[in-house]
Amino acid sequence: MTSEFIEGGASAGDDRRPVFQQMIERACDGEQAFDLILVHSYSRFFREAFEQEFYLRKLAKHGVRVVSITQPVGDESEPVHAMMRKVIALFDEYQSKENAKHVIRSMKENARQGFWNGATAPLGYKLVEAEKRGTKIKKKLDLDPVEVETVRLIFRLYLHGDGNSGALGVKEVVKWLNRNGYRTRRGESFGVASVHKILTNTVYIGQWRFNKTSSRTRQRKPDEEVITIPVPGLLEPQVFEQVQRQLHARSPRVVAPRVTTGPILLTGLAVCATCRGGMTLRTGTSQNGVIHRYYTCSTCARKGKSACKGRSIRMDKLDGLVTDHLVEQLFHPERLAGILGSLTARRAEKAESVNRRVMALQREVTEAEDKLKRLYRLVEDGITDLDDVLQDRLNNLKAERDRAKAALEAAKYQIAPGIRIDPALIERFGHSMREKFTRSAAVMILGTDSIVADRAAAPNRCRFPGGDPVATLT
C-alpha cells in the first residue's frame, strides 16, 4: 500500500503537525499499512535531533523505516550508518536554529527602521508602501479613516457605554457591535477574543511592540528583547490606561469566574438531590481489578455524612442517560428544522442591522454631498469668497463624505445572502449526528442548566428538574 502525506508550510522544528501525526498514527496502528517512509531529506522529517530519534525508534518498533532520498546512509543496523544519520540530524538542527536566528535578527532590524513585519495590519490601520529596495517593498502602518472610528467606538463603549447605559463589558461590547451592523475587516461578526485584543493592543497609542512572544513556545520574552516602534496613534494614552485598569479589575484572576470546567461530561451540571451540592468524580476498584467511576456528592466527601448522607451513581449510567436523552431530543428532523429556522431568523436579524447601518451611511453621504453643493453654490453666486476658513470647511466635508462612502462600500460587502432549508439534507444530517453522538466520547451539552441524580424520591432514577424520570437504572 502506498500513501502520500503532504503538509505544506508547516515547520519541521516540532511535532505540532496534523498530517505528520496522522502519518505516525497510520504507521503504528498495528495494521502494518506500510513498512517504509520516504522523505526528501531527514530535515523534512524532523529538525530536532532528540525528537527525530524518538519518532524513528517508535516507527522501528512497528517495523517501519525512514529513508531519505538525498541523504542515504545505508543499512542502519550497522553502527557507523546510524552514527552518520545522527550527525546529519545534529547539523540539520544547528542549521535550523541558525536560520531562525538570522531571520529574527533581520525582522528586528526591519522593525527598528519602522517597517511592518507581518501580513495583516491591526483594525484601524492599513499598510502603505514606504520605500522600495530592489524587489522588496517596505511598508508602514497608516491610519484607515473608516476603521479608526470603529476602534474608537469600541473603547468608548467599554468605558462609557452607548449613552443609554453605563460602561459595557467586553461581551456586551461585542453584542452591541454585532447588533448594530458593525463587522470585522473580513465581514464577520466580532468576537470576545478579537475585541479584547483590540482593547489591550498598545499600537492604538502609537506604540507597536514587536518580538513580544516566542513563535514556538508562546512564552513572553524579556523586555530587553521587545522592540517598541512609534506609529500613528488614534487614542489618548490616558484613555488606553483607563481601559487597562478596568480590564484588570474585571479579570477572572481578580474576580473568580462563575463557571468551572472539568474533564468529565457533567462537570458543574450534576447535583446531589439531598443537599444540592455538586457531584464530583470518585473511582473504585473491584476485586478483579476493574476500575469503576462514580458521580458522588462533593458535600459528603468534604464535610462527612453529618452534612449530607451522600449520593452516588455510576458515571457510565448517568452519562448514558443524558446522551440518549439528548440524542432523542436534539437530532430529530423537526427539532433540527426548528434550530435552523431560528438560525435563519437570527441571520435575517443581523442582515437587518447591517441594512440599517447601510441606510444610515447613505444618509451621511447624501448630507455631506448636499452641504458641499450648497457651499459651491455660495462661491459660484459670489455670495462668499473661498478664504482659508471656507477651504478648511470644504476639506473637512470632503473627508467626511469619503469616509462615509468607504464605510458604505464595506457595509454593503458584509450583506450575506439568504439560506434555504432542505428537509432531505436535514434528515441525512440528523441521522449522521445521531450515530456520531452515540459513538463519540466527547459530548457537548446544549441548553441544560442542571441535572439532578435523585435516588431518594425514586431509587436509581435520573431526573431533569421539573420533569419526569428519563429512565430507570438497573
Which residue type is seen at 391? Q
What pLDDT is recorded for position 263?
Answer: 58
- Using alpha carbons, select from 21, 3, 2 the residue that is nearest to residue 12: 21
**Distance in angstroms (rounded) separating the CA atoms of residues 471 and 283:** 24
Mean pLDDT by groups of 10 residues along the chain of 474 residues = 72 73 82 81 76 82 83 75 79 76 78 78 87 82 88 92 85 89 85 91 87 71 79 90 88 56 67 82 77 82 76 81 78 74 75 78 85 81 75 81 78 64 73 70 36 37 38 26
Give the per-residue pLDDT at 62: 82
Q: What cell does 345 get? A: 431568523
pTM of the model: 0.46
Long-range CB contacts for residues 123-129, cutoff 8 Å, separation at least 24: 123/147, 123/150, 123/151, 123/184, 123/185, 123/198, 124/148, 124/150, 124/151, 124/204, 124/234, 125/203, 125/231, 125/232
CA distances from 311 to 89, 166, 263, 460 (A): 58, 45, 20, 10
> What's the pLDDT at 253?
62
Q: How many CB atoms lie within 10 A of CB 420?
A: 8
- pLDDT of the residue at 458: 38
pLDDT for 440 equals: 56
User: What is the per-residue pLDDT for 54?
Assistant: 83
Distance between CA atoms of 246 and 155, rounded to whole angstroms? 11
Taking the C-alpha atoms of residue 282 and residue 315, their distance in angstroms, rounded to an integer, is 9
Residue 438 confidence (pLDDT)? 66
**CB-CB contact of 124 with 204 (8 Å):** yes
3-state secondary structure the chain: CCCCCCCCCCCCCCCCCHHHHHHHHHHCCCCCCCCEEEECCHHHHCCCHHHHHHHHHHHHHCCCEEEECCCCCCCCCCHHHHHHHHHHHHHHHHHHHHHHHHHHHHHHHHHHCCCCCCCCCCCCEEEEEEEEECCEEEEEEEECHHHHHHHHHHHHHHHHCCCCCCCCCHHHHHHHHHHCCCCCCCCCCCCHHHHHHHHCCHHHHCEEEECCECCCCCCECCHHHCEEEECCCCCCHHHHHHHHHHHHHCCCCCCCCCCCCCCCCCCCCEEECCCCCEEEEEEEECCCCCEEEEEEEHHHHHHCCCCCCCCEEEHHHHHHHHHHHHHHHHCCHHHHHHHHHHHHHHHHHHHHHHHHHHHHHHHHHHHHHHHHHHHHHHHHCCCCCCCHHHHHHHHHHHHHHHHHHHHHHHHHHCCCCCCCCCHHHHHHHHHHHHHHHHHCCCCCCCCCCCEEEECCCCCCEEECCCCCEEEECC
Q: How far is CA 87 from CA 72, 78, 80, 84, in A?
A: 13, 15, 11, 5
Cell of 150: 470603529
Burial class (CB in 10 A: 0-12, 13-18, 19+), 53: middle
pLDDT at site 418: 60
